[in-house]
Amino acid sequence: MTRAKQTPDALRPRWDGRRILFEVQDAERSVACAISMNALQDMSAQRRFKPADLLAAFAELGPRIEAIALHKLRARSEAPSGLLNIWSDDIEEEAAAHHPPPLAAAPPA
């Protein structure tokens, strides 16, 4: 009988009262990360305050959050010590990178 591999509780996204803690895989290493409640709310454009709602938003936005974490991790020159934190500013930078402002129209000749 084969058993499905279960994710240890330590690896599952979890609410600690201020942020959601999670881990990302980068090559062979696992990196501990956190996303602030404000950053998560900025991404979802909804104000959620119950832990279950925040975790649901995290699950919905998981691939985007992981991409932001990996981009931030890879942009560093050294491995993070402690948590790699995602803040609202990181969300704004990611949005700006994917949606640059329109070019100004050339003045009439």
The answer to whether residue 6 scores a pLDDT higher than 50 is no
pTM, full prediction: 0.76
The answer to whether residue 2 scores a pLDDT higher than 50 is no
Per-residue pLDDT, averaged over 46-70, amounts to 91
- Is residue 85 classed as helix, strand or coil in its secondary structure? strand
- Give the start-to-end residue ranges of the domains of the chain: 11-98
What's phi and psi for 107, nearest 5 deg?
Answer: -65, 150
Q: 28 falls in which pLDDT band (50, 70, 90)?
A: confident
The answer to whether residue 99 scores a pLDDT higher than 80 is no
The answer to whether residue 31 scores a pLDDT higher than 70 is yes
Q: 1 falls in which pLDDT band (50, 70, 90)?
A: very low
Per-residue pLDDT, averaged over 8-32, amounts to 86
d(CA 51, CA 18) in angstroms, rounded, equals: 10
CATH topology of domain 11-98: Double Stranded RNA Binding Domain (3.30.160)
The secondary structure of 26-63 as a DSSP string is ETTEEEEEEEEHHHHHHHHTS---SHHHHHHHHHHHHH
- Is residue 15 classed as helix, strand or coil in its secondary structure? strand
More confident residue, 40 or 104: 40
Q: What was the pLDDT predicted at 4?
A: 40
